[in-house]
Amino acid sequence: MGASHAINSHEKAFSVVSERVWFAASTALKEGHGLCYNWDVGTATAADGRRGNHVELPTILNAPYFAGVADKVYAARTGGQFITINRPGSFCNVWSAVSNTIGTTLSTCEAGTGGNGAGFFGREGFQGKGSFTPLQTIDRSSTAGVCFGYLQEGPQSGLIEEVTPVDNSAIVLMVGGVSHLLAATLTNGDATFVLADGTFLGQKKGFHTVGTQTTNNVVITITSGQQNVDANTAYATWTTDTVAEETYVEWYGVSADGVWVEQLTLGGTIA
């Protein structure tokens, strides 16, 4: 199905960019449920058109390939089904789990299941595909539901995730997008994560602490990092344990020549 911006009904009809795609899973979908392209289906060495028309629920692996949101409720169907999605650039409903204020707040599609749920629109991430500007004031923070607004275009946002750090253990986080760190009791040691080198120029990564880390900390190690304020100072680790601490980096350089450059840090300790 080709894209169309036409408004051919009542003046309050949504203006959407629609696409017919295959959803292979057997699960039900809510109206506004976020979905990503199945970018690695098939054999990696073969050209495969399914990578542009097969969709799946967001995970930390497909998060850089946001496709759009389900245009309506779809009941569970064994073996998968054809569905229609509203692509970035649409004025449509998303399935929201936050409080929305018309024209002033931002929410981003969630990857994984650590927060509200894969495909829900939750906390703020980077702008671009996968993020949403509400054009309706409605509080969905207690009970998730639809919210009308603009599904952003632009570069891929990388989505968001909500992760509970693990006591005295390495944790798995997305390579891009924004990772929101929930409260945790770290009695025996730090929770740790190593941010590998970026894979393309302009790649972004953010870490935001939304819950207190008790006793010990979350320690983020940056494989190749540089503090933005001083080109001669390495950015090797960021340690956080308090609500509202956050740090954001961007990959500058091509392939092995690159470095994660600090864009903003609020709280926490850089070393």
Confidence of residue 6 (pLDDT cuts 50, 70, 90): low
pLDDT value of position 1: 32
Tokens of 156: 């891929």
**Mean pLDDT on 66-77:** 98
Residue 148 has a pLDDT of 97
Q: Is the pLDDT of residue 112 over 90?
A: no
Distances (CA, A) of 82 to 19, 127, 241: 10, 29, 45
> For residue 5, what pLDDT band results from cuts at 50, 70 and 90?
low
Q: Is residue 129 within 8 Å of residue 154, measured between CB atoms?
A: yes
CA neighbor of 184 nearest in space, from 202, 201, 166, 199:
166
Put residue 229 in one of left, alpha, beta given phi > 0 → left and psi -120 to 50 → alpha: alpha
- The pLDDT value recorded for residue 7 is 55
Q: Where do we find the tokens 């979908």?
A: 29
Residues forming a β-bridge with 22: 54, 82
Predicted confidence (pLDDT) per residue in 32-58, tens digit = 999 999 999 999 999 999 999 999 999
- So what's the pLDDT on residue 2? 41
Of 29 and 230, more confident: 29
What pLDDT was estimated at residue 188?
A: 98
Q: Is the pLDDT of residue 254 over 90?
A: no
Strand pairing class (218-222; 191-195): parallel
Of 126-140, 145-159, 242-256, which range is least confident? 242-256
Chain-centroid distance, C-alpha 200: 18
User: 159: closest CA among 192, 118, 105?
Assistant: 118
Strand 54-56 relative to strand 18-23, pairing:
parallel
What percent of the chain is helix, strand and coil (3-state, nearest 5)? 5, 40, 55
DSSP letter (8 states) at residue 99: E
